[in-house]
Structure 1
Amino acid sequence: MATHSTVPLPLRITQAIGLTSSSLMTGTALSISFLFTPILLQSPSGVLLRQWASLYGTMKTVAQVNTAITSASFFYLAYKIHNREISGWLAGYVAAGVLNVAIVPYTLIVMRGTNGKLLRKEEEVRGLGKMDNAVDITVEGETVHQLVDWWAVLHLGRCLMLGTGLGLGLWSVLN
């Protein structure tokens, strides 16, 4: 069994990259749900839509890049150790990589409806120039506030996947 002192430097660097990027994404995702969204929900509907759309656009790019880095790191580590007698590490790295990639289909399948409603309404309201109004805007019978609140609940699913992936990656490094 390999000890940490016998793990080659390139693999230790890859471990550090995977854990760092996984930690950053997990922390960011949790911050969005528990810190940023409650503050957003205090805004008038038009402002809320604009801020949510801005957050969505920014995080879409950040999450794609971070997911690629994190998953590639964990999959590379699994590949490099697959022929050693350390199957627990292999399973942990593979699972960590899969859980990080899983946020993409989760977003496309589970969150697509809510994301679409919010993005369409933001575009419509922006086109009318009513982004700073205090009137509660509805989308298909739901208020913007209800939709953003529901989006944050759905977002917790991504937080769970990212946090579990981080835990498995950390376990694989420390085990």
Structure 2
Amino acid sequence: MNSVPISATRPSTGIRVAQVVGLTASAYLAGALGGFSAVAGPALLKAPAPLLAKQWLTVFDNGKVTAPPLSVLCSAIFGYLAYREPTASSNFALYTAAAIVVPSMIPYTIFFMGGVNSKLQEKASSLANASLTDTEVESGVAQDETVHQLVDKWLTLNFTRSLLPLVGTLAAGWAIADKFEVLGLGAVLKTGADRMG
């Protein structure tokens, strides 16, 4: 009789909740950051400079209160899973990598995006009273210092930043998937002619 064992180890409910919340939060973070750069950003670039600066500032202000705490939550969850589920050294390494790489978006933001963020905040402040539809407001500004060029650069840096929680999600997902093992505890799938009885 040809059979394939299909049972798998089952983590505790607490571990399962941590796995689901950690994966969901890190995947959401990666998708929100990357999606903004890939989908919303190009549409925003069609706006006049004063409107674009205002829109960018709204995104920036919303992001700085949601993304860092979410990345720290992911790090804590993945660190917890590394501590609670060290069944294999590879799983421990994967969870630990996820716990480190997801919140590394915070120093990335500070060191790689800080200059562009500061310039865009200044632009948003200086253009706050300009007409939102004024297309000539930056006519004398150097090409690489316009709101459009700065936002375009920010979108590229932001997309790169989104790869950090994506890598963390993939590492943790691999650790979770690797945890399941075929044990052969009696449950079987019949194959071939034997499946008919």
Task: Using structure 2 for the length normalisation, give the TM-score.
Answer: 0.81
Q: Note the alpha carbon deviations across 1:40-84, whole angstroms, 9 max, x for none.
A: 1000000000000000100111102211221111111011124x4
CA apart distance, 1:155: 1.1
Are 2:41 and 1:37 aligned? yes
Give 2:134's aligned residue.
Answer: 133
Which of the residues 113, 116, 122 maps onto 1:114?
116
**The residue matched to 2:82 in structure 1 has which SS?**
helix
Does the residue aligned with 2:136 lie in a helix, a strand or coil?
A: coil
Aligned-pair Cα RMSD in Å: 1.8
Query: What is residue 157 of structure 1 aligned with on the other side?
Result: 160
From 85, 90, 93, the counterpart of 1:81: 85
Following TM superposition, by how much is the alpha carbon of 1:132 offset from its aligned partner in structure 2, in angstroms? 3.6
Aligned match for 2:31, one of 22, 27, 31:
27
Q: Which has the larger helix fraction?
A: 1
Amino acid at match of 2:46: Q
Q: What is the count of residue pairs matched by the alignment?
A: 170
SS of equivalent to 2:9: helix
**Could you tell me how far apart the structure 2 residues matched to 1:117 and 1:140 are?**
14
Q: Against the structure 1 CA distance between its residues 92 and 141, is the aligned structure 2 distance closer, same or farther, given a 3 Å change threshold?
A: closer
Unaligned 5+ residue runs, structure 1? none
1:131-174 deviation per Cα after TM superposition (whole angstroms, max 9, x unaligned): 44222534795211011001111112211212111110110110
> Aligned partners of 1:173, 1:49: CA distance in 2, in Å?
42
TM-score, with structure 1 as normaliser: 0.90
User: Could you say what secondary structure the match of 2:127 adopts?
Assistant: helix
User: Partners in 2 of 1:131 and 1:124 — Cα distance?
Assistant: 12
Identity %: 31
Query: d(CA) in 2 for partners of 1:139 and 1:168?
Result: 43
Q: Which has the higher contact order (CA 8 A, sep 6+)?
A: 2
Unaligned runs of 5+ in 2: 1-6, 179-197
Distance in 2, Cα, partners of 1:165 & 1:102: 10
Q: 1:75, 1:37 → 2: CA distance?
A: 33
